Amino acid sequence: MANIIISQATEGGLTFYMPKKDLEVPVKSLEFNQPHKWGGALTLADGQRYYIDPLDTMPSLPKSLRAKRMD
Amino acid sequence: MAKLNKEEAQALIQEVLEVYPEKAKKDRAKHLAVNDTAEAKTCVTSNRKSLPGVMTIRGCAYAGSKGVVWGPIKDMIHISHGPVGCGQYSRAGRRNYYVGTTGVDSFGTMNFTSDFQEKDIVFGGDKKLSKLITEIEQLFPLNRGISVQSECPIGLIGDDIEAVSKASSKEIGKPVIPVRCEGFRGVSQSLGHHIANDAIRDHVFDREGGSEGIEPGQYDVAILGDYNIGGDAWSSRILLEEMGLRVVAQWSGDGTLAEMEQTPKVKLNLLHCYRSMNYISRHMEEKYGIPWVEYNFFGPTKIAESLRKIASYFDDSIKEGAEKVIAKYQAMCDEIIAKYRPRLEGKKVMLYVGGLRPRHVIGAYEDLGMEVVGTGYEFGHNDDYDRTRNDVGNATLIYDDVTGFEFEEFVKRVKPDLVGSGVKEKYIFQKMGVPFRQMHSWDYSGPYHGYDGFAIFAKDMDMTLNNPCWSKLTPPWKQRPEAEQKAVA
Ligand code: SF4
């Protein structure tokens, strides 16, 4: 588990930021992106996959979250 | 010398690495690369521990916190808690200018230290710290607060500076902020920036009894990550004010505690040094919903780009203001470029600096027709290198945490016309006959930010590069006979 921040990218879409690794990558896909379910598996532009526990509401971004590596 | 192509640069790296033992070679190879804009990511490894035995140019976490982030907050007293040397040998060396009466209401260039002796290491220094704070309050009653910047021994002997700070804060009725920035933490000054940012988050923003501040306005902005080296923040600030924005805080060059407290109410955070203040910007974005934007005030091209980018966050009056500012200074810039570009055109520069300049100043050099053929960060992270990739051309050498040896070898082979780095490198290169500018302290010049700064920048580069002294480095008895004959004829 690691602390991450998901924020709105200026060119649209989401950005994934992991302070510990200085990783700042666009998010390619997010499993759940609905008003009542948000989160799940994340695929980053560089191919890494992370998992965040789904939330029941869409958070206001940027948001600090905990993420787990998937592979 | 002509610029190296990609293969030559690659070969140069290999050649330089040859001298290292196997393990060191493998490690250092990851930090050196040749830029390739076609690739998706930079392949430089950064923010790793320096190799034992090599000469690194980095600083420590205490330097990052006391020297960089906290130090310039002028109306607070920053105690270098521990032995006297850390603070004394770095005192006033950074040239972050401020207005105020030193020793009365401003304390920027003074050194406050608890001056640890053997007995403090053995018995702990908490009592001394609390006495020191009481004394400071008596001697300098106009201070607005105190920060305790830990040096290495504090963490080693396990002093409880948080408890002392809390008690002392009650006693003097002002914030006393403990900062756990012991020098041994992390791999470079970079962690010190982070720790300092976190201390601001925990102790300045969330402080009870903080000042009310001024009425927030719709054009309020804060300058983050400008340390006012030689007056940099001032020459940036006037441009922002001219375009109609209200700058309510400067972090931290010429900054104050009240300005920091006002920042969570601004409309936009302007971030100059991404490395040292992105943490607090991200925090403010999340907690207070304040967007932040990176900008670059080196050289007219980047300034115009940045002013427009900043203006895009505001209404049309600001956008018009930005255009007006750009137009106003256009003539001045054209004149500077017309004067200096012919003297500097085509010259090659190698840089090796700290957190933002390895990429930010490139635009200013390009405005003068110069080319950056090598650049690197002392303590940059991945995200810095990602941002650099597009600013430099193909086949540019990139070196992270370069060692003294590597840097010298690179310069010997690439033969740049100018090297820009810090004071530790200055005299080595000057003795090698390479024109050199200090790019941390602006070589006792500055400011270099903004349009006014660009004029000074151009003049300084010309003064250094075209100085007649460089042709006088070979003594007459060592000059080659042909040259002598020519002189006679
Ligand atoms: S590493 Fe430790 S002893 Fe050295 S300057 Fe930094 S805080 Fe002081």
Min Cα distance B121 → chain A (Å) is 32
Is residue B252 reached through a cis peptide bond, with omega within 30 degrees of 0 on the bond before it?
yes
**Once rounded to an integer, what is the mean pLDDT over residues B461-489?**
78
**Once rounded to an integer, what is the mean pLDDT over residues B78-107?**
94
Say whether the ipTM exceeds 0.90.
no
β-bridge pairing B176-179 and B77-81: unpaired
Q: Which fold has domain A2-70?
A: OB fold (Dihydrolipoamide Acetyltransferase, E2P) (2.40.50)
For the whole model, what pTM was predicted?
0.91
Helices (H), B201-273: 232-242, 257-262
Q: Are B393 and B371 in contact (CB under 8 A)?
A: yes
Residues 262-281 of B with CB under 8 A from A: 279
Residues 2-61 of A with CB under 8 A from B: 5, 7, 17, 19, 21-24, 46, 60
**pLDDT 10s digits, A3-59:** 898 888 777 788 888 887 777 888 888 888 888 888 889 898 888 899 999 888 888
Strand partners, B274: none
* B24 touches ligand 1 (CB under 6 Å): no
Q: Is B34 a residue whose pLDDT tops 60?
A: yes
Scanning every residue of chain B, which has its alpha carbon at the shortest distance from the alpha carbon of A19? B279
Cα separation, B181 vs B68, whole angstroms: 12
**pLDDT 10s digits, B220-261:** 999 999 999 999 999 999 999 999 999 999 999 999 999 999
DSSP per position, B297-344: -SSHHHHHHHHHHHHTTS-HHHHHHHHHHHHHHHHHHHHHHHHHHHHH
**pLDDT 10s digits, B280-335:** 999 999 899 999 999 999 999 999 999 999 999 999 999 999 999 999 999 999 99
β-bridge pairing B32-34 and A63-69: unpaired
Q: Residue B467, Cβ neighbours under 10 Å: how many?
A: 11
Structure confidence at residue A70 (pLDDT)? 84
Q: Are B197 and B65 in contact (CB under 8 A)?
A: no
Q: Residue B450, Cβ neighbours under 10 Å: how many?
A: 25
Tokens of B360: 């930010």
Classify residue A26 by burial, with Cβ atoms within 10 Å: 0-12, 13-18, 19+: middle
Q: Provide CB contacts within 8 A for B201, sequence distance 6+.
A: B280, B283
Which mutation among B84, B111, B152 tests ligand 1's pocket best, with the greatest number of atoms within 8 A of CB?
Answer: B152
**Residues of B that are catalytic:** 60, 63, 94, 193
β-bridge pairing A2-8 and A14-18: antiparallel
